[in-house]
Amino acid sequence: MLLFLTGIVLLVVGYLTYGRFVEKVLGPDDRTTPAIQQADGVDYVVLPHWKNMLIQLLNIAGVGPVIGVIAGIKFGAIVFLLIPIGNIIGGATHDFIAGMASLRNRGANLPHFIKLTLGNTYYRAFSAFTVFLLALVVAVFINVPANLIDKTFLPNVPFFWGAVGAIFLYYVVATMFPVDKIIGKLYPIFGAILLIGSGALLVALLIRGFGDASILQESEAFKAGKLTQPIIPCLFVTIACGILSGFHATQAPIIARTMKTERQARSSFYGMMVLEGIIAMVWAGAALAIYNKVPALMAENPNLVLAKITEDFLGSWLGKTTVVAVVVLAITSGDTAMRSMRLTLAEMMKIDQKPILKRLAICAPIIAAICGLLWWSNQNAASFGKLWNYFAWGNQVLAASTLAAGATWLYGLKKQGWIAAIPGAFMTFVVTSYILWTSTAHGGPTGLGLELPWAYALAAVVTVVFIAWSVWRGLRFAKDGNVELEAPKYDFSNVEKLEDGAVKNAVGEK
């Protein structure tokens, strides 16, 4: 119980201290934001701050901080410390850097930031990889909520593909329509469901924990069933959302294009990642408690464990409400992942997204690709396992790349780039050693299957070379002084009136 409460306190204190330090390094100010500078009524639309925070939270908090931690807590109670420490130093910093980089570059998507900092060659490979990963994300975030709906609400009716169709249709509509028409209207409702469900589970967990602190400690039966895989790298691939997730950097530009002022950046980016960490802690605690109570569940699918958790802690009615909250988490990350795919492809191919026919032209091949992935991933359990695995480690390749680009960006601006370089080095080591070590022989998915010492040694070499290269690029940019790492500031003193969603007058560049 003490370790669990310590983790919650660390997250709150980290936001108030290290989060403020990172804010000073990044330096949000009063310059004009992309929502005003490039207002188009579709993607660049000023939204209220509270809506932006909810949108960011729901964008980033997919099934990872629930399904991921239900699986990840099997590594042991040490997770209660690793989540907050990794979140504060790594995940929240990563999200803040990604958000500020987009704000400072006219709401550009992640591949543009990579091109700006790490160069054209890396950008080409990274862009293709990002689009592929987003396709995996959309497929996963249709598959998981459809399964939850099918098994929780209609256990005696085969409704999986009906749920898939309904969710996918919503994704297409949310992707095509202006951000304030669908996402801006529905997310406050979705956010309320999420906060009620997570809050109810936290209260129930605390009440039971103060009555019997042992439920949040490792029982002998739990220890017997703990995962024996190495914590580094496996834990940090199993639990991404909640600690550090590269997917979040693809979502940051969505609200970077809807923010009225940069002063909202710490609460919107850093703060919402911290809140996601608290959600992850709640589900990790509930999972440990249920594993202590029913050790046999450690061998079950996390989706089944989720249902057992909600039923045990909250009862039938409120438990189902909480499952709805988890479905919301998945859906509200999947729809914006698909939106990010559209925006990224449009940016790469320089296709204006204001005309709806051009949005449709981008979305048509996306829809076809997702349909193919859904068909393949549901052929059998092994297919979905591969889909989830590619999604998991691909997610962390994005995180390592974003943090390396962040180090280049900050050093290039003569700022303290170590805030990105240190977590970037850690995540590069994690994902490289994971790919080198994992294999069916080691109890994992397909990988190169090297012995762990060799995987660590080679990963260390890759990490040193990659991070040193990114830092060197930043220092060279700073020395040359002729590389634009940020778009020029704009003067909007002639704007007569600013309202949510529009700018009345044309503006000029300084």
Residue 221 neighbours by CB distance under 10 Å: 14
Distances (CA, A) of 476 to 150, 257, 470: 55, 30, 10
Q: For all residues of the chain together, what is the average pLDDT?
A: 84
Question: Considering the chain, what percentage of its residues have pLDDT values greater than 90?
Answer: 43
In eight-state DSSP terms, residue 509 is E
Q: What is the C-alpha to C-alpha distance for residues 444 and 450, in angstroms, rounded to an integer?
A: 12
Helices 271-293 & 49-60 angle (0-180, nearest 10): 40
Q: Looking at residue 137, what is its pLDDT?
A: 78
Domain ranges of the chain: 2-19+37-393
Distances (CA, A) of 12 to 8, 39, 84, 225, 240: 7, 35, 9, 32, 19
Residue 131 neighbours by CB distance under 10 Å: 18
Q: What angle do CA 282, 287, 292 make, to 5 degrees?
A: 130
In eight-state DSSP terms, residue 33 is P
With a cut of 50, say whether residue 510 has pLDDT above it. no
Q: Which amino acid is at 250?
A: T
With a cut of 90, say whether residue 7 has pLDDT above it. yes
Read off the pLDDT of residues 52-84 as tens digits, 9 standing for 90 and up.
Answer: 998 888 888 767 778 889 989 999 999 999 999
Q: What is the C-alpha to C-alpha distance for residues 367 and 333, in angstroms, rounded to an integer?
A: 16
The domain defined by 2-19+37-393 folds into Amino acid/polyamine transporter I (1.20.1740)
Spacing of C-alpha 187 from chain mean position: 17
Least confident of 248-252, 355-359, 367-371: 355-359
Read off the pLDDT of residues 295-331 as tens digits, 9 standing for 90 and up.
Answer: 999 988 787 788 888 888 888 776 777 777 777 777 7
To the question of pTM greater than 0.75 for the whole model, the response is yes
